[in-house]
Structure 1
Amino acid sequence: MSRPLEPDPRRDVVLDATTLKALTHPLRPRILSALRLHGPSTASRLAEHLGVNTGATSYHVRQLAEAGFVVEDPELGNARDRWWRAAHARTFFDTHDADQEMSAAYLSALAAGYADNAQRAIAEIATLPAEWEDAGTFSNWTRRLTPEETSELIHELTETVRRYRPHQGTDDAPEGARPVSVNLEVFLAPGMGDESSP
């Protein structure tokens, strides 16, 4: 079995009770994700990108900054426009160490962001260049697995994704390479938690 991805303390953040609370609002993980994917931005540009109110976006960016998730980018900002960038490349979260209510709120915020991204991707399919029209998928499989097999599946899929170059910090990307979102959601099928084994 492959080893799980480990956080790099130089570039990753591991959520604790304090930082987890800062990400339980549904808009905040979306803001953080947008900054990680597209690079530095102003609150007004983020609001336009996410289709939300500028005032609300400004407020939530400031909350993310207070929690250490985003920092000002002084090279881009000026007295009128504050530019923000993500302070970390990735977020790590262990549900065992978290308050269940906050954990559920954070995971719900993530799921809402994933669903929003999927809806936006679907809406843009008709505008894609021909070579990208069939390059994605919206697929779902259900398998009957043990907890150990489920963990092994996650590790194998993670290793497959890790073989490809990351979105940021890569100068060797070939012409035509663009950011591709890969979401992996593995969970016990809802409503089956009490199902007895055959």
Structure 2
Amino acid sequence: MSDESSNEAPRTVRLDRELVRALAHPMRNRILGLLRVYGPQTATTLAGRLGVNTGATSYHLRQLAEAGLVIEDDSRGNARDRWWKAAHQGTEFDKAELLDQEPELALGFLHGVGQSYAENIFSFIDAVQTMPADWRDASVLSDYFFHLRADQLDAMMQEVLAVLEKYKTADLTAPLPEGAEQVTVQLQAFPRETR
């Protein structure tokens, strides 16, 4: 069944300059990520996860809703609690196009993305000591260095993305299969500054 016939939002939204503007604040990027991973939440539950006050999360949720990145979950809540959910499961964007159109905005957005990635890594490091041995052994925190041309790096990344696509979960908020955990795979590939 196609997205249109099921009345569901597309799984991925392509970011344009207006959507990047809405996500340029790191808190909004984090809120959207939490809604995608953990499913619908209230401003209060998000505030608890983020360690901020409810007023801040409410404000940022309204900004995300205005941009169409989050929507109210009408199936939950009551007159007192508004539940929010991500309108899309993922985002994609053309870095070159955004950097040409709005360089400062694009760099701010990319810095926020990088900050989120760094926070994910530090959370893993903080938890690794108490993880079950099989999860500790299966986890990877590593980097590799190559001498490549841009076209070779692009080809490598296409191959890696094809492998990741095989394991992609349709709905991150669905109940976990027995023995499964939510797993994040962060991927960065870029030329290093040479000296």
Query: Aligning the two structures, in what range does the TM-score lie when normalised by the shorter sequence?
Result: 0.7 to 0.9
Quick one: structure 1 residues 122 and 113, their matched pair in 2 at CA, closer, same or farther if it must change by over 3 Å?
Answer: same
Aligned pair partner of 2:154 in 151, 155, 167: 151
Matched, 1:91 2:91: yes
| Percentage of identical aligned residues | 43
What amino acid maps onto 2:64 in structure 1? L
Pairing of 1:84-163 with structure 2 (within 5 A): 84-98=84-98, 99-163=102-166
The count of corresponding residues between Structure 1 and Structure 2 is 184
Quick one: structure 1 residues 170 and 101, their matched pair in 2 at CA, closer, same or farther if it must change by over 3 Å?
Answer: closer
Distance 1:140 1:53 in 2: 37
What amino acid maps onto 1:32 in structure 2? L
Distance 1:39 1:150 in 2: 34
Distance 1:172 1:155 in 2: 30
> Hey, what does 1:40 align to over in structure 2?
40
What amino acid maps onto 2:125 in structure 1? I
Distance 1:74 1:26 in 2: 27
Gaps of 5+ in 2: 1-8
8 Å contact kept, 2:38–2:173: no
Gaps of 5+ in 1: 1-8
8 Å contact kept, 2:69–2:87: yes
8 Å contact kept, 1:167–1:179: no
Distance 2:151 2:135 in 1: 36
Matched, 1:16 2:16: yes
Matched, 1:178 2:185: no
Q: Deviation at 1:17?
A: 1.3
What amino acid maps onto 1:47 in structure 2? A
> Hey, what does 2:5 align to over in structure 1?
none
Give the secondary-structure state (helix, strand or coil) at the position aligned to 1:76: coil
Task: Give CA deviations for 1:98-150 in whole Å, capped at 9, x if unaligned.
Answer: 11111111110000011111111221223323332222111111111100001
Distance 1:121 1:146 in 2: 32
Q: TM-score, normalised by structure 2?
A: 0.87
